[in-house]
Structure 1
Amino acid sequence: MEGLSVAKATLSAFLHPSRSADVEEGVLQLLSSLLLRYNEEFDGVVLAYFDIKVCDWTPKILSGLHPYLSLKLKAKLLLFSPKPGMLLEGTVNKVEKDYMGAIVLGIFNAAIAFSDIHEDFSYQDNVNGTPFWASTSNNHVIRLGSKIKFVVKSVQEESFLDICGSLKPPNTGCVNWLLSSLENIPALDSERKKQKNEKKRERIIENMGDEVKDDSPSRKELRADYINESEYKQKSKSKRKDRDTEIRDGSKDNKEFSAEHFYERDHKHKSKRKLNADIGAKDGGMVSNEFPADHFHEREHKHKSKRKRDAGDAIM
C-alpha cells in the first residue's frame, strides 16, 4: 500500500539516571514513546522500529539541575506518510447518508464525504434496516465491513492523523468488486478479438465477390484444382525420392534400370553422331568426311568412359 516506507534514522537518546543500570531497556522505552504519533522530523507516523544499534555505550552526563545520560543510536523506522493523491485501503466502519467512514491499517480514521462519493452511488437500506451504498448501474455495493480503496484528498497532521478521502476516481471502490472486474477483462478482450476477426472475415468475403464465395461453384472448382495440383506434385516428388533410394541401394533391379538407362543414352548419342557425320560428308567431301569420322570416334571413346564411370557410381 502507498504511504508506507522504511527510514534509517540516527537518534540522540537522553536517559534518566535511573536507567543507567539498564541502558538497553531505557533505549527501548524511549523509542516506544515515538510510536503511533506524527513526527515532524520524519514527516510521518512511526509504526515500528527494528535493527537498533547503539553507537556509543559510554553515556555522557549532561550538566544542569536534572542531569541526563546522552548517547547516540541508529535504528530503522517503519513510517506511514499519506499524501494527497495516494491510493489507500481501509475497512468501512460507518455508513451514513452524508459520509462514509473507514479504518486504515486498523488504526487511522478516514472520512469520505457525500460530495466525494461517485454520483452513480446512492444511499440505501435493506429489509433489516442495514444501510449501504450501491451503484445504480452495476453490482458495486459498499457496506459495513467492506474493504475499499480510496484516494487521499487531504491529511490533517497533528499528534494523530486525520485523513479525508474520495471514491470518485475509477480505480476506487470495494476491493472485491475491483478484483472481479479485473478477472473479467481477459474474457472481454477475447470476445472483442473474436468479434473483430469475424468482421474482418466478412469484409474479405465481400471483397472477393459473389463468384468466389464459399458456396459458389467457382470457389469449389478452384479448391479442387488446387488439391489436384498439390496431389500431383506430391506423387511426383514421392516417385523421384523412391527412384533415388533404389539407385542408392544397389539392388539387381537397380542395375538393370541403370543399364537400360545408359543403353538408351548411348543409342541417342550414336544416332546424333551418325547424323552429324552425314552432314559433314555432304558439305566437305572426302576431307570433310575423314575429319568428322576421327572427331566423332574420339568423342565416342570419351562418352563410353564417362558412361562406365557413371554406371559404376550408380551401382555402388
Structure 2
Amino acid sequence: MEGLKFSNAELMVYIHPSKSRNIPIGFYKNQIHYFRYSETFDGVLLAYDAAVKSKQAKILAGLNPYFGVRVKAQLLLFDPKPNSLVEGKIVKLSPESIHVVVLGFSAAVITDFDIREEFKYKMRDGEGCFVSRSHKGHKLKIGTTLRLQVQSFDEEVMHIAGSLLPANTGCVKWLEKNSEKDLPMDRDLKRRKIA
C-alpha cells in the first residue's frame, strides 16, 4: 500500500524523574502521540522503534525537573499523497457513497461522482452492494477490502476523499486474481503472438 513510509529521526525526549531508572519505559509511555498528524514527521505516526543514543541527560530547570535524553528512532508514518493507492475495509454502502476505514483509524469516502460507471448499486439479500456490469464477479459489499485512489487527505480529522475511477481500483481480491488476465498490455501481446 502506498502512503506508508519509514523515517529515521534523532529526537530529544523529556522524561520525568520518576522514570529515570527505566528510561525506555518512560519514553514509550509519555512521549509519542500515535494517530495524530505531526508536521515535524510529515505524517501520522503509526509505530516506532527507539534506542537511547546517549546515557547523558540534560536537566531542565522549572517546576518539574524533567531531563532530556537523545533518542534515535525509526518511525512508520502514514501520509497518503494525491493519486496514491490505499486499501481499507468497506463499512457502509449507499447508492451515493462508499465509506471505508483505512488502517483502522482513517475514514475515507468515495462519492457517486468518483465511482466508475461500470459499478451499479443493487440490493441483494437485504444488503446493498456495487456490482460491476462488465465483470460479474467484481462486487463491493460491506466487509470487502477496497483499493482506492486518494484525491485529498485532511490531516486534522484524518479523512480521505477517494476515487474508484482508475481501472486499478476496486475489490483487492478480485484485482489480484484478475490482474494478469485483464491488463491491456497482456491483451496486446496475445494479439501480436496470434498474428
Alpha-carbon distance in structure 2 between the residues aligned to 1:88 and 1:8? 23
Which amino acid in 2 is paired with 1:94? K
Question: Which residue of structure 2 aligns with residue 96 of structure 1?
Answer: 94
* Matched ranges for 1:238-257 at <5 A: none
Distance between the aligned counterparts of 2:141 and 2:20, measured in 1?
54
* Structure 2 SS opposite 1:2: coil
Name the structure, 1 or 2, with higher relative contact order (CA <8 Å, separation 6+). 2
Whole-angstrom CA distance in 2 between matches of 1:11 and 1:4: 21
Q: Which residue of 1 aligns with 2:129?
A: 132
Deviations 1:240-275 (A, max 9, x none): xxxxxxxxxxxxxxxxxxxxxxxxxxxxxxxxxxxx
1:2 matched to 2:2: yes
Residue 54 of structure 1 corresponds to 52
More strand by share: 2
In the other structure, the counterpart of 1:12 is 12
| Secondary structure, counterpart of 2:173 in structure 1 | helix
Q: CA deviation at 1:82?
A: 0.6
Whole-angstrom CA distance in 1 between matches of 2:66 and 2:194: 78
Instruction: Name the CA distance, whole Å, in 2 between partners of 1:122 and 1:78.
Output: 37
Cα deviation, residue 34, structure 1? 2.1
**Following TM superposition, by how much is the alpha carbon of 1:48 offset from its aligned partner in structure 2, in angstroms?**
0.9
In the comparison of the two structures, how many residue pairs are matched? 192
Secondary structure of 1:27's match? helix
CA distance in 1, matches of 2:20, 2:103: 36
Deviation by residue 1:186-245 (Cα, 9 ceiling, x = unmatched)? 98567634642xxxxxxxxxxxxxxxxxxxxxxxxxxxxxxxxxxxxxxxxxxxxxxxxx
Decide whether aligned partners of structure 1 residues 59 and 98 sit closer, same or farther in structure 2, where only a CA change above 3 A counts. Answer: same
Unaligned runs of 5+ in 1: 197-316
Aligned residue runs from structure 1 range 195-234, under 5 A: 195-196=194-195
- Which of the pair is proportionally richer in helix? 1
1:124 Cα shift? 1.0
Q: How does 1:275-294 map to 2 (within 5 A)?
A: none
TM-score (norm 2): 0.88
Residue matched to 2:83: 85
Call closer, same or farther: CA 1:151–1:59 in 2, change over 3 Å.
Answer: same
What CA deviation, in whole Å up to 9, does each residue of 1:113-147 have, x standing for no partner?
A: 11111122221101x21100112233132111212
The one-letter amino acid paired with 1:178 is L
Distance 1:19 1:194 in 2: 70
In structure 2, the partner of 1:161 is 158
Aligned equivalents of 2:193 and 2:14: distance in 1? 71
In the other structure, the counterpart of 1:180 is: 177
**Amino acid in structure 2 at the alignment position of 1:16:** H
- Structure 2 residues not aligned, in runs of 5+: none
Amino acid at match of 1:85: N
Q: Please give the secondary structure, in 1, of the residue aligned with 2:75.
A: strand
Q: Is the 8 A contact 1:45 1:80 kept in 2?
A: yes
Amino acid across the alignment from 1:61: I
CA distance in 2 between partners of 1:53 and 1:112 (Å): 41
Query: Structure 1 CA distance, aligned partners of 2:165 and 2:155?
Result: 24
- Once residues 6 and 45 of structure 2 are traced to their aligned partners in structure 1, the CA distance between those partners, rounded to angstroms, is 10
Give the letter aligned to residue 91 of structure 1.
Answer: K
Task: Point out the structure with max Rg over C-alpha.
Answer: 1
Q: CA RMSD in A?
A: 2.1
Q: TM-score, normalised by structure 1?
A: 0.56
What SS is found at the alignment partner of 2:117?
A: coil
Q: Give the match's secondary structure for 1:84.
A: coil
Secondary structure of residue in 1 paired with 2:181: helix
Q: What's 1:171 paired with?
A: 168
User: How does 1:107-146 map onto structure 2 within 5 Å?
Assistant: 107-126=105-124, 128-139=125-136, 140-146=138-144
Is this contact kept in 2: 1:13–1:30, CA < 8 A?
no
